[in-house]
A and B are shown apart, each in its own frame.
Chain A
């Protein structure tokens, strides 16, 4: 799918290798529009729209109240011009009234089996390389596929049900497990948390809900594939994961989006609650449409992800591979509330063309003997800007807290930027906080070394970049790691400059 490189780009890159700009010019592999019949409401946002969404979702009253509270708060922020502008990003003026806030695929839900699912939907997944059927049979991954905003297929439910695990769409959870949803929703990310969290709480259409009962080790990786599909609609999912005492779950989230010209807004909220001795591992591959070479189109990804280690000895681990979106604003965080809790953040962020990413984490140490690890790798190419922004806060009573952070950046080209903005706040003398960061490029000596041994220049760059990210990719579950490696290789072929 190689496109001719604009003369200007070639001129800018003439110091680089041929391979590098071939790669820089390649287009988004997963770009097309699936022809689904959609149920979309008109553009705009006011209380009537919120009520309409609530009625379409058949929300109970408390949920509608919750939406309206969040909407009023969001409106007050919007009126006071309080959109977050502190990140190292150039965010265009988003017109929130020109977005349609609800879109559900037609021929709506409640399938008994996959055969009943709209063949278009299945074909879409097929093209993405996520054959639902095959995964179901071979990979042992339960997939709760979300196209735009409504869950259309859920598999492996029976097996999960045997263990008492609840894994369903958010709407279903609201209907069937209202007590759990009411108890936990907004407990980690309240609607007052930030502008986009408020917006999400007001208009979210669906998402995933997961509850692991005490002492249960989830027998398979839980996975949700999100996909924006309807032109001009934002996607506002909400994920809530509750791991009860002593349980374990590994949760996968991956996404690709079709090519289109309008900027699309994506403002998700993910909340994780890990009780005593529980462990949650959350892995993400984010590959939304990044915009074209000129930087037009592309998804705006404003995500609030946060987990709380509520009980003692709980552990939450975030792993992410960020390659898509024209703007990424995302800080998966952990509140280490219980004693002896652990938080981890492993991230690879890859930006090319005119992509902008400002991503990182927050580790808030409240309990005693808490430990956090942050490993972040940023790779910038083309004319992109890639920033790590992370906060480590050791509270006064967090005795013996430990943190280790490492943020490495690699630049592939002389027109991109790589930035590091760590915040280390220590209020306890027994804390040990360490941070280190480096910025460098792929060494000519390294490439030379590989070439000497008969490895082509492009394979050498792939090898070096993949080595640079190895630490992170190794954290991904096996099935995901394969896809991640594939994606990174494609991205490299399609992006280094």
Chain B
């Protein structure tokens, strides 16, 4: 790929930083991690950051933030972080400050035996070696490669075979820094055969200057396991966010991801699902509300590699002011992956004439005995419904807010954790009332 000098400079900065931090020796770390980092930085160097010429990045650019010199090492001089737990939520809480587990802030006392919530460095090396960087493809994605190249610690969750966690696990990534920062949280979740876990993922960012958070989450869902993940993205308006979520599913497993995006400058979520055995169920739900100059891009892939699976995808967006929304969802059904039932829906409401929505729902199908469909709509609030509400005494803003809340509610209602749902409801109401 031909790239301009300026762009090369951007990549060179990260490559140099990598050499400074990890260049020469192993520093007593496992050899495989060192090798992984070297491979990843090599791939990053040869790929470079994607540009708008790449089909997958047609509508989204991170040039602005990438041109800012970003500090790649955590800023340890920052004051102790404040962590917001979810009110009323009884959960196992793992707090990771700049990538490292903070025992004092975490609540792990009631963890059942066998379940691990730890830093990657303290996790069983065999498990880490078997799963780390196996799901998230650093060979094909520059941002995953960048995260992998700087990998030194992160969140690790292991729910062993047959264990059902009653309480949800809440992972809080605390990121702080005063200078422009590149923070790269990493999470590895392993659910053993028949295990069940609800996972809440949030970021508490205290970043004074324009910064980029580039997170990678890998989830391994063994046969018969059920994993539900809830991610709330609400960074400040000067923070950009790139996330990669990769899940690998085995026989008869269930995985669902629910993502809620309320803030940030440029937010790009890359979600890649690989149900790699029969009987898998994959659900992807998303809600984003973008205002101001926010840019929210959800990029999903469900790669049906094996027959007899079900997937459903439901994304909703509300766009106001000068915000831009992007939804690019792809369902891929490979050859011989017969009897796939895949559904995808994307609905967006555009509220201002300077907001924009780009939808690209794709189907790529190589097997004949399948039921695949997608629907996408973009529009405004129904004038008749608004009139109906106003005829009953609601003001225009009240009527609008009510309808938008109802629109968002369809996704919020998929969250089975009551305290989380309340927090989401309150947050949505607050944003819409503004």
Contacts and interface: CB of A to CB of B under 8 A. Distances in A.
Nearest to A404: B377
B364 A437 contact: no
B413 interface: no
A220 B380 CA distance: 43
Point out which of A396, A420, A434 has the most chain B C-beta atoms below 10 A from its C-beta. A420
Nearest to A423: B360
A139 to B, nearest CB: 39
Interface string B272-309: 00000000000000000000000000000000000000
B363 A437 contact: yes
Given A409-B363, A427-B356, A429-B380, A414 B373 contact: no
A414 B367 contact: yes
Contacts of A419: 362-365
Contacts of A420: 361-364, 374
A396 B322 CA distance: 12
B379 interface: yes
Contacts of B357: 424-427
Contacts of A409: 363, 365
B358 A416 contact: no
Point out which of A409, A420, A425, A429 has the most chain B C-beta atoms below 10 A from its C-beta. A429
Interface stretch (B87-95, B193-201, B346-354, B401-409): B346-354
B400 to A, nearest CB: 12
Contact of B374 (A411, A412, A437): A437
B4 to A, nearest CB: 15
B376 interface: yes
Contact of A423 (B348, B358, B370, B377): B358
**DSSP class of A's interface residues: helix, strand, loop or mixed?**
strand
Contacts of B368: 411-414, 416, 441
A439 interface: yes
A213 interface: no
A437 B373 contact: yes
B369 to A, nearest CB: 6
B378 A433 contact: yes
A423 B371 CA distance: 22
A437 B361 contact: yes
A111 B353 CA distance: 59
A417 B372 CA distance: 13
A86 B336 CA distance: 26
A43 interface: no
A437 to B, nearest CB: 5
A424 B363 contact: no
A166 to B, nearest CB: 42
Nearest to A397: B353
Contacts of B55: 86
A436 B356 contact: no
A435 B367 contact: no
A441 B340 CA distance: 12
Contact of A396 (B353, B372, B379): B353
B338 interface: yes
B365 A418 contact: yes
A88 B366 CA distance: 13
B336 A436 contact: no
A121 B359 CA distance: 49
Nearest to A427: B356
A133 interface: no
A439 B373 contact: yes
B1 to A, nearest CB: 12
Nearest to B334: A417
B376 A434 contact: yes
A434 B348 CA distance: 10
A439 B376 contact: no
Given A439-B363, A440-B370, A414 B335 contact: yes
B432 to A, nearest CB: 16
Given A414-B369, A423-B360, A441-B368, A428 B353 contact: yes
A413 B350 CA distance: 41
B355 interface: yes
Nearest to A435: B376
A425 B365 contact: no
B373 A421 contact: no
B79 interface: no
A422 B365 contact: no
Given A417-B364, A417-B366, A429 B350 contact: yes
A434 B377 contact: yes
A436 B376 CA distance: 6
Nearest to B359: A424
B28 interface: no
A439 B375 CA distance: 12
Given A411-B368, A429-B352, A433-B378, A424 B373 contact: no
A430 B355 CA distance: 11
Interface in A77-91: 86, 88
Contacts of B373: 436-439
Nearest to A433: B378
A434 B372 CA distance: 17
A421 B350 contact: no
Contacts of A424: 357-360, 376, 378
A421 B365 CA distance: 11
Interface in B20-69: 55
Given A86-B55, A414-B336, A422-B376, A435 B369 contact: no
Interface in A370-401: 396
A431 interface: yes
A266 B364 CA distance: 27
A415 interface: yes
B377 A435 contact: yes
A429 B375 contact: no
A425 B361 CA distance: 12
A415 B338 CA distance: 11
A17 interface: no
Interface of A: 86, 88, 396, 409, 411-441
14 contacts: A414-B335, A414-B336, A414-B338, A415-B335, A416-B366, A419-B364, A426-B348, A430-B380, A433-B376, A434-B376, A435-B361, A435-B374, A436-B376, A439-B363
Q: Top 10 nearest A-B pairs by Cβ distance?
A: A411-B368, A424-B359, A439-B372, A420-B363, A438-B373, A426-B378, A433-B378, A436-B375, A441-B368, A432-B379
Given A425-B357, A434-B376, A439-B373, 10 more contacts: A414-B338, A414-B367, A419-B362, A421-B362, A423-B360, A424-B359, A429-B352, A429-B353, A435-B361, A435-B375
Interface of B: 55, 335-336, 338, 348, 350-380
